[in-house]
Amino acid sequence: MASIENNTGGRKGRQRRSVRVDMTAMVDVAFLLLTFFILTTTLANPKMMEIATPKNSPVDLACSKVMTIFPGQDGMFHHFTGCDPESVQTSTLNEVRARIYQNIATVNDLIISIKPTENSKYATVVNILDEMEITGAKKYALSEITEQDIEFLDKKGLK
């Protein structure tokens, strides 16, 4: 481990010794452990988002203030604003966000109703709930899809 360097030059009869410890092996071990811990550490802890769901009592809403979003298959969203379901559009998350911003600006007391379909993946629903946070939409509800809605989407061939 320790290499002793003899320095026999210079004055006669006297020896100067400098003791050096070879630290290579120690460094090896230290870096090995360091690499292990760096690779196994996850610095990003999971977070949580809080949601409140409405009680199971039907609320009468003025449909002119409601934007309805159906999170569908493959991360796409079907949505319409106001009383006319026929104006339903299918868009990506970014387009929906733009539409929400637009609605917040034009509709007073906008209410967003999120109705996941049978085919929605959980991630899609979380994405749209997250949009509520991002856009700052004040009133939104995560509700169960109704028979009527299912029929309507079927008729339109939307999944």
Binding-site ranges for another protein (CB under 8 A): 3, 5, 20, 23-24, 26-27, 30-31, 33-34, 37-38, 40-42, 44-56, 71, 94, 97-98, 101-102, 105, 116-127, 129-130, 133-134, 142, 144
Considering the complex, what minimum distance in angstroms separates the CB of residue 6 from another protein?
11
- The DSSP call for residue 152 is H
Q: Nearer to another protein by C-beta: 15 or 41?
A: 41
**Angular region, 74: left φ>0, alpha ψ -120 to 50, beta rest:** left
Considering the complex, what minimum distance in angstroms separates the CB of residue 57 from another protein?
11
Q: Nearer to another protein by C-beta: 35 or 64?
A: 35
Considering the complex, what minimum distance in angstroms separates the CB of residue 146 from another protein?
13
* Euclidean distance between CA atoms 129 and 142, whole angstroms: 8
Considering the complex, what minimum distance in angstroms separates the CB of residue 46 from another protein?
5
Considering the complex, what minimum distance in angstroms separates the CB of residue 120 from another protein?
4
Q: Nearer to another protein by C-beta: 8 or 86?
A: 8
Residues contacting residue 51 through CB under 8 Å, at least 6 positions apart = 129, 142
> 3-class SS at 92?
coil
Q: Nearer to another protein by C-beta: 15 or 37?
A: 37
Cα pseudo-dihedral 74, 75, 81, 84, rounded to 10: 10
Q: Nearer to another protein by C-beta: 20 or 86?
A: 20
Angle at 51 between CA 129 and CA 97, to 5 degrees: 15
Q: β-strand 111-114 against 66-71: which pairing, if any? A: parallel
